[in-house]
Structure 1
């Protein structure tokens, strides 16, 4: 058990796609078991409509730049690029109840990430409040059916939220959120819910060498931090990078844990803040910060 005032690194693993759930999660479970560390898995429940991202190639030049830089075909595979367009959208976590059981039985935390990740990421601003409510209702009910309990946290797809989302979030009485990219945890203004943000960079934003250098540089200063990981990336063709990173973290004797334990380590008097939207380096769309 990590004590208050100690260093701690929370690992937040987002599962965005069918292939990420099918192949990336088992690989990540093996890696985490090898290092004897626990993580928090944020699961997408419903349809993988990743193929609809082709619309972003037309509308958003930054998205095309990101896809080229991150080697998207290698990360996600050809099938994923067709789901929701030329191929039907398979369910993500709902297709793999045994893998979900394995995550839980291995001692990791599971939380709610999405119902339809792609449509939230690309179309949230154009959707109605009623659509957002249905999205949460479908996703949370599916999570409860799959795990046997309600989620106690929500991590927004692509770190994308708005004031309508925050009002709906209040109804679910989550213990904490992980919906932003920020330096330190805070309390969300108006809804009074704790935010445990991702403060370290994603590999697909900066590249392997830059991400590793930035992460280790921050950890050398100590403190509580959260590393965002994607099942499709660190559980896919970038798994060797993740292994190398965990080896360095182990050599530093830096404690690694779940976000729910991070919550227990935080002081009571963390600041109250209002999120804002910002385009971060390496991203193609605005993120809550």
Structure 2
């Protein structure tokens, strides 16, 4: 039976307190598994406004109604309002674990990591990752088993740190997509990453489907993707059975776009898919048969900037 690996990025304080409980209820209703990846430090979402000077940023903002989905208060964190500590949402995070879902690390400070890590060195990278690792242990009383990079941004030191943490699998990058959201390489899937001449032990599970914010508002083959047809568009991409990794966000699918996510869950069930966690997917991977790929970067349709990519 083909699988959809559900990887949930939790970026903000509001997403943790409101979106996460909503997603737990929805996943339970549909008997679906998932992995929740938490941001664990301060919510500096307001600092992301500096990205306004990047190519494609305003186009993405206008398409995805950032203000509507994240809320004005969240967009002011770190600018006009103090940045709240996401790691203080202990009860909400522990409730996810207690409901039977896998929990892992997304990042320490989402905006700081996404905007800086590619250019940073060993000490900076290690410091950020160790802060997240320690906070995770404080909250859950256990060591994290997995990781999913904020904004799909990493560097060679970060990948080496995953091995030092003893993580066996992570989802830090993307598979390359065509303009319509389909895979450039239909065989794209888990792989072993090589950085600085070393093949890393932590297996990478790249996201293989476009995210909702990458599709909304775009014109694809003469059809403008809207909230009314986006689920059908993604289900068309999964019509041919194949294992996929789908990244969703507590701030989107856990709130205003929850009906779309529920439509996807229902559609995937009808297509014969099981929705599972990264941990469950890892159990099915034959490590010895995985390809080895170098660290690569590329841009994807509907998203500004370059990401870690499977090329």
Q: Structure 1 length normalisation: TM-score? A: 0.93
- SS state of the match for residue 117, structure 2? helix
Contact 2:4–2:246 (Cα < 8 Å) also in 1 = yes
Q: What is the rounded CA distance, in whole Å, between the counterparts of 1:32 and 1:170 in structure 2?
A: 30
- SS state of the match for residue 193, structure 1? strand
In structure 1, what is the equivalent of residue 17 of structure 2? 22
Q: Is 1:185 equivalent to 2:185 in the alignment?
A: no
Q: Structure 2 length normalisation: TM-score? A: 0.87
Q: Is 1:97 equivalent to 2:90 in the alignment?
A: yes
In structure 2, what is the equivalent of residue 282 of structure 1? 302
Q: Please, which moves more after superposition, 274-283 or 215-224?
A: 215-224
Q: What is the rounded CA distance, in whole Å, between the counterparts of 1:160 and 1:209 in structure 2?
A: 31
Structure 1, unpaired ranges of 5+: 1-5
Deviations 1:13-56 (A, max 9, x none): 00000111011001111111111112100010000000001111
Q: CA deviation at 1:251?
A: 2.0
What is the total number of aligned residue pairs between the two structures? 282
Q: What is the rounded CA distance, in whole Å, between the counterparts of 1:162 and 1:60 in structure 2?
A: 20
Q: CA deviation at 1:97?
A: 1.1
Q: Is 1:82 equivalent to 2:76 in the alignment?
A: yes
Contact 2:121–2:157 (Cα < 8 Å) also in 1 = no
Q: CA deviation at 1:127?
A: 3.3
Q: What is the rounded CA distance, in whole Å, between the counterparts of 2:61 and 2:158 in structure 1?
A: 27
RMSD between aligned residues: 1.5
Q: What is the rounded CA distance, in whole Å, between the counterparts of 2:307 and 2:82 in structure 1?
A: 29
2:213 pairs, out of 199, 204, 207, with 204
In structure 1, what is the equivalent of residue 33 of structure 2? 38
Structure 2, unpaired ranges of 5+: 176-187, 217-226
Q: What is the rounded CA distance, in whole Å, between the counterparts of 1:288 and 1:210 in structure 2?
A: 29
Q: CA deviation at 1:193?
A: 1.9
In structure 2, what is the equivalent of residue 232 of structure 1? 251
Q: Please, which moves more after superposition, 278-287 or 267-276?
A: 267-276
Q: CA deviation at 1:126?
A: 4.1
In structure 2, what is the equivalent of residue 156 of structure 1? 149
Deviations 1:232-254 (A, max 9, x none): 00011111111111111122231
Q: CA deviation at 1:168?
A: 2.7
Q: What is the rounded CA distance, in whole Å, between the counterparts of 2:202 and 2:233 in structure 1?
A: 29
